Amino acid sequence: DAKTTQPNSMESNEEEPVHLPCNHSTISGTDYIHWYRQLPSQGPEYVIHGLTSNVNNRMASLAIAEDRKSSTLILHRATLRDAAVYYCILRGNSGGSNYKLTFGKGTLLTVNP
């Protein structure tokens, strides 16, 4: 399975931007980069995904390095509700065994008021 590396924890202040890094040096050409987060006592929820280009949605932005060996999830203005564990996951082509979502340890984001 393709592996990702994330810091164990990060801290931010409310209403400030947060940049969550992820390294994935063994990424293959067909792997998509997915981000999920897990709020306390809830199941994981999808945040964003991308392949090569930077992506924006209502929750966050995803910046992907040109060589695709790293990416950064950007929360533009952190709120207390963004405190969660954030997972960076590589997901392969649909239908095969590498299509599965394999979670690592993720980054625990703490947001200070």
Partner 1 sequence: DAGVIQSPRHEVTEMGQEVTLRCKPISGHNSLFWYRQTMMRGLELLIYFNNNVPIDDSGMPEDRFSAKMPNASFSTLKIQPSEPRDSAVYFCASSLVREATEAFFGQGTRLTVV
Q: Which is nearer to partner 1, 16 or 99 (CB)?
A: 99
Determine, following the binding rule CB under 8 A, whether residue 40 of this chain makes contact with partner 1.
no
Q: Are 102 and 44 in contact (CB under 8 A)?
A: no
Return the residues of window 42-101 that contact partner 1 according to CB under 8 A: 42-46, 49, 51, 87, 91, 93-97, 99-101
Nearer to partner 1, 96 or 113 (CB): 96
Q: CB within 8 A of 80, min separation 6: which ones?
A: 14, 111, 113
Which residues of this protein are in contact with partner 1, per CB under 8 A?
A: 32, 34, 36, 38, 42-46, 49, 51, 87, 91, 93-97, 99-106
